[in-house]
Each structure stands twice: as structure tokens, then as C-alpha cells.
Amino acid sequence: MLQYVDYANITMGDLLDAVAAAYPEHDAVVMTDRPCRIGYRELKETADLVAKGLIKLGVQPGDHVAIWATNVPEFVVLQFAIPKLAAVWVTVNIRSLAHDVDYLLRQSDSTTLFMVQGFREIDYASLLDGLAPELPSSEPGALRSARFPRLRNVVHVNRWPHDDRLPGRFTFQDIVELGRTVPDEVLRERQARAEPDDVASIQYTSGTTGSPKGVMLTHRNMVLNAHHTAEAQKIGDRDRFVVMGPLFHCAPNVLGTLCAVTRGAAMVLVETFDTTRVLESIDRERVTVINGAPTMFVQLLQHPELDRFDVSSLRTGFMASAPCPVELVRQVIERLDVPEFTICYGLTETSPLITHTYTDAPFDKRVGTVGRAFPGVEVRIVDPETLRDVPTGRPGELWARGYVVMKGYYKNPEATAKTIVEDGWCRTGDLASIDDEGYVNIRGRLKDVIIRGGENVSPVEVENVLYEHPKVKECAVIGIPDQRWGEEVMAYVQLKEGETAAEDELKHFVEDKLAYYKRPKVFRFIETFPAVPSGKIQKFRLREMAVEELGLQDAATVETA
């Protein structure tokens, strides 16, 4: 049994050690589409070896180690191995194209990169070779790249034992073997140097600006948030999570894997979201906890053979990361038979949750609000113009303060100062109201960001690409309602005088410049933009126009992030 753990004052490495000692034979990581069943003792032992292997590679305290991988067991190992040596793990979106990877590796100052072969049509190895062909090297610390001056090591994560070895690159197993040459005392000394308030992870998120920002999260940020989530969902050591969201996102890696570890529960990984694999995993592994974005639940409910799978083991879970229609929540509870289903709200900058509904809350509060603030977290509703608190029940911008607030954006003090204001309050950019009992309702967004299937899309980033087209005079990118994805990306374009263009021409133009989830699904040409006297485009007017023109249903929802 797990002895008392002070979740507010423990590092991720020490947490794994404590849980492995308490539940050595419990399933830790399981996959149903490849042979993988790892217990907590083995997870700790492998994390220790990888940590020691990274020390052998020359990774120093505070160094940044990037993970560009799908939901493979090695991701979970790295999530704990890297903090053990007082270093920082950096997430890379698996859908990233060359521009995204180029920016992230340079901006994050990553010294080591772990990567799988690729995702769907994206070949990571070829992409990286195209950016810096001089990178391959199998000598520790031997890499020297003008494009990535801090990068010293690239490690290939094989999905299967028989996968081809990439010439001149380390494999994950190489790092494990290197770890066997390093004494345990070296790791113990390094692990003891990590402190709860040290940055453990940098997770990139898109906002209102064109370039993603690196959110610096500490051990305390993530561990305590995972603990409070486990309390809200009454997670125990016999629970089994299906981890179907991508681990490069904050919600799956904190509220999925880390939350499971706080209780010694099992993590059943689905490498990339696929409804059949998710349902098979629930059936075979008797999964009890299911967390995800609304679009995932929409697709699960629409599975043509849903009734073929036994999902009766499900007990609890939550929906987050995008607008959550109440009717969808009801269907999840009834058709997927998740009696203690909950809703929560937050953002990467709050590691990630601010509020959560509890399994024993009244039904209307549990599914019709985003819950109350976690212990140790304060919330207030502020008039965005006057910056004064508004009366109970009135909408305003939601601000939060407490242990959940990030340490800041990496190398971006200006953006940090705009988000974390006086006295440590974090401005969420979301409109909300709060009732007399402390339950929060999300009413909309102040910040100009599109949430497509749980992925944040920066309109400015998309607009900057469109402005590269020689025929485009002005453009505006908005989010429009979509039944499957929550929101889709749409672009209004004003062409230069005398120019003509077709929608397909612009769609083709952005194909190799934007990851597919960022590409506008719909283009519309416009002669004059609705604007305020200063000339600023009124995007809310464009959204109203799009909803009417396309015959979309802009249903009332409870929005979460």
C-alpha cells in the first residue's frame, strides 16, 4: 500500500519511486495493439536506466530533452526519467511539419531529441534530415549543427524490435545499455538535486500570437494537479486509464499518465486515436477511466459497432479541451455507461486544471458546469475593461491564482507579463461566470484562438501563411462550429485589385506550410471586411456571417479547455 505522500512537495522521480515500492507488480503501462505489459517495478527500473544513459550522453541538470513521439511506452518512461536527472522534457506535436520543428528545437534550446519514425504521412527522420543533414551521429555529444547549435544527441525510438536502425543515430535501447555503465549513486545524487519548484516540462501551446509559446511547468504544478484530479474522480490503485489523447498535450500527460501514477493505477495506451482500438482496449483491459476531448467522444458514440464492445467496466472520466455540449455529456453517461462522468476546465498555463466537477456532485452541476476551483486555487471573475471584479452571476474574464499557475513562458517575458499579472493572477482569456455555490460556467473566449478537436490553432499563424500568397491583400481566420471537431478553421480572403483565385488554389498553397489541423477547411472571398473605425476587423461579425451563410448550428455549449 502507498504510504503517505506529500504531493505538494515531491518531484516526479521521487513519486515514481514511492509508487513502484508500494505496487511493484501492478500494471503500469499496457498496450493492446503491440506486446507491452510493464509493471511499476519495471517502469522505475527502465526510467532509472534511461536517466543514467542520458547522464552518460552528457545531459546536464536543467538541460532540455525533446520528445517527438506518439503514445508509445517510451514516452511514459521519458516523462519520469528526464526529471530524475533534474532535466526538463519538452513536448513536440506529432503533427508538426518542418517549420514547426525548426522553430521548436531552436526556441526550446533542446540538447537531445527522442523521436519515433513518423506519424501518418510525416516521416520525421526525412524531415529532420532536410532541416539539418549533418545531424546523424552515434557518438555521445558529437552533433554539431549550425541550425540547431544546442542539439547534441538524436535518439530513435523503435516501435517494434525488428524496426530498421537509422544510420548514425542512437536507439532507445542504446540509451538503456549506456545506463547500465553508470553507477546507481550517480543517479541518486542527480535526482536529489531536483526540487518541487524546478521546471520539469516545457509544453508548447498556440495562442493569439503566431508562434507557439513554451509553457514552463514545475514538478509541483503537475503532480499536485494530477493528485487533485485523482481525488475528484476517486481514483484508486485498481483503476485502469485508457490514454487516448496525445501525450504531447498537457491533459493526457498530467491527467492521464501522471494522475494514474499518483495512485498506482494502470495506463492503457492507444498509440494514436482510433475508435476501434479505444473500444477494444476498454473491453480487453476492463478500463475504468476514460478522459478526452468532445470530438473523441462524438466519434466513439458514432462507431457503427459500438454495441459489440463490452464497456461496462467504465466508472468515471472527464470531458475537456473544447466546448462540451450538455447533450453529448448525457449520451456519454448513458450509452458508454460512465455513471460518474465529470467535466473540468483549465489550460496548459494552469498545468492544466483550475476547476473540476466531482463524482458525487448534483447531476446538473456535474454536467452543466465546469465545477469548482481545486483546493489551493483561487478564481475571480473580472471585467476585462475595468479590471474590477464583477457581481456573482455576471460574466467576465476568469482569473486564477495558486499552485496551478505556470512558471512562465520560456524565453518570452513579454508574453508572460501579459498572462501572469499583479499578485500572481493568471488571465485565462476566457469569459465565465460563477454562482453562489462557487460553480463556474464558461461563456466564451476573449482570446482569439480556435480549438479544433482539442488542438489550439493560432489564427495569426494561419493568416501569416496566407499573406505569403502573392494574390492576397488581406485575410482573417476564424473558427466556425463543427459537429465532429467542435470548431473548424475558416478563412476570409480579400484579393489584391485585379486578381482572381479559386478556393482550391489557396488550399493547395497552405498544404506544405501548415499542419493539417491548422489548414482552413473553408475559404470565402470578400470585398470589404467588417471593421471598427480604427480598421480592426470584427471577427465576431465574420463568424456570424459564416454561421448564416453555411447553415451551421451554433449551439449553446459549456466550453472547457
Number of CB atoms found within 10 A of residue 212's CB = 21
CA proximity to 518, closest of 454, 459, 447, 446: 459
Handedness of CA 485, 105, 86, 418 (dihedral sign): negative
For the domain covering 9-20+39-219, report its CATH number: 3.40.50.12780
- Tell me, letter by letter, the H, E, C secondary structure of 362-387: CHHHHHHCCCEECCCEEEEEECCCCC
C-alpha 237/C-alpha 239 separation (Å) is: 6
| pTM, entire model | 0.86
What cell does 166 get?
A: 537509422
> Which residue pairs, CB below 8 angstroms and at least 24 apart, start in 138-146?
138/168, 138/169, 138/170, 138/174, 140/56, 140/57, 140/58, 140/178, 141/57, 141/58
In this predicted structure, what is the pLDDT of residue 323? Answer: 65
**Strand ranges for 58-160 from DSSP E:** 64-68, 88-91, 110-115, 118-119, 122-123, 153-156
In this predicted structure, what is the pLDDT of residue 1? Answer: 78
> So where are the chain's domains?
9-20+39-219, 451-553
CA proximity to 54, closest of 111, 116, 10: 111
Mean pLDDT by 10 residues, the chain (561 residues): 93 98 98 92 98 96 98 98 98 94 96 94 91 73 80 87 70 96 98 98 80 95 98 97 96 97 98 96 98 89 95 96 78 94 96 95 90 97 93 94 98 96 94 94 81 87 90 91 91 93 95 94 93 68 90 53 35
CA proximity to 253, closest of 285, 282, 291: 291
Judge if 9-20+39-219 and 451-553 fold alike in CATH terms.
Answer: no
Q: 65: which strand partners?
A: 89, 112
Q: Cβ contacts of residue 43 below 8 Å, gap of 6+?
A: 16, 20, 28, 29, 76, 77, 80
C-alpha 354/C-alpha 403 separation (Å) is: 10
Residue with cell 517527438: 68
Domain 451-553 fold is: GMP Synthetase; Chain A, domain 3 (3.30.300)
Rounded to the nearest 5°, which phi and psi values hold at 501? Answer: -160, 155
In this predicted structure, what is the pLDDT of residue 326? Answer: 82
Residues 70, 76: contact at Cβ < 8 Å? no
C-alpha 335/C-alpha 432 separation (Å) is: 30
| The Cα angle at residue 290 between residues 284 and 292, in degrees rounded to 5 | 130
Count how many Cα atoms sit within 13 Å of the Cα of residue 39 in the half-sphere of its side chain: 9
